[in-house]
Amino acid sequence: MNREELAKYLLDKFPDTLELLETGKAEPFFLMKKPDEIVEFCRAIRDDVELRMDFLCQMCGVDTGENFEVVYSVASVKKRYRFDFKFPLPYEGAEIESVQTVWPGANWFERETWELYGINVKNHGNLTRFLLPDDWDQGFPMRKDWDAPDFKRMPEV
C-alpha cells in the first residue's frame, strides 16, 4: 500500500475513530477522535493482519498554546508502513492512558511526557523523576507559558 491506499484503508477500517488531517506533510496524519479508547485502538492496529503496526517510533506531548496534543508515530517493521495520529487534550486535568501493554517501549516516552508537560499517565506504574534533577520544583518546563528567572527567550528577528 502506498501513502494514499494506507490512509484509505485506515479510514475504512476505523471510520468513527480517525479523521485525516491536511497538516500532515509526509506520511498520513490522523486526528484520533476517541482518546478514551487509545489502548484498544493501538492494540487493533498492532494486531490487524494487514497493518501490523508493531513499532512505536516515538510518542510525545505538544503544547500548541491553546491546548495539549499527544502525538504517536507508529511503524510496521514487517509491512514497512508508517503513519501518525494525535489527539488534543485540555490543559486542566490532562490525562492519557498508558499504551505499554501494546508497545512496552512506550514506558519512557510516557514518563517523559508526564515529567516535561505534566500530562498524567494512567496505569503507568513508574511516574518518577527522569530527565530533570531529582529535586526539581520549577514546574513543567516544556509548557509554553513556563518561565524561570534564568530562562531567556531569543529576541524576535
Partner 1 sequence: MAELKTEEFVVNMGPHHPSTHGVCRFVLTMDGEVIVKVEPVIGYLHRALEKICENRTYAQCIPVLDRFEYCTSMSCNQVFALATEKLAGIEVPERAEYIRVIMLELNRIASHLIWLGTTSLDLGALTPFLYAFREREDIMDLFEMTCGQRLTYNYIRVGGVAKDIPKEFIPKAKQFLSTFDSKVDDYEKVLTENPIFMTRNQNIGVMSPELAIAYGVSGPNLRASGVKFDLRRDDPYSIYDRFKFNIPTGQNGDCYDRYRVRMQEMRESAKIVRQAIEQLPEGEISAKFNPIVFKAPAGELYSRIENSRGEMGVYLQSRDKEKKPLRVKLRGSSYNHLQAMPHLLKGHKIADVVAVMASLDIIMPDVDR
Cell of 52: 501490523
Counting contacts by CB under 8 A, is residue 133 touching partner 1? yes
* 55 binding partner 1? (CB under 8 A): yes
Judged by CB, which is closer to partner 1: 15, or 64? 64
- The grid cell for 154 is 531569543
Question: For cell 478514551, what's the residue?
Answer: 36
Residue 57 in contact with partner 1, rule: CB under 8 A: yes
The single residue among 1, 24, 35, 39 that binds partner 1, judged by CB under 8 A, is 24
Count of residues touching partner 1 (by CB under 8 A)? 39
- In SS3 terms, 76-107 reads as CCCCCCEEEEEEEECCCCCEEECCCCCCCCHH
> Does 77 participate in binding partner 1 (rule CB under 8 A)?
yes
d(CA 40, CA 43): 5
DSSP H/E element including 40: helix 38-47
Query: Which residues contact partner 1 by CB under 8 A?
Result: 21, 23-27, 29, 54-58, 60, 62-65, 71, 73, 75, 77, 80, 82, 84, 103-105, 107-108, 129-133, 141-142, 153-154, 157
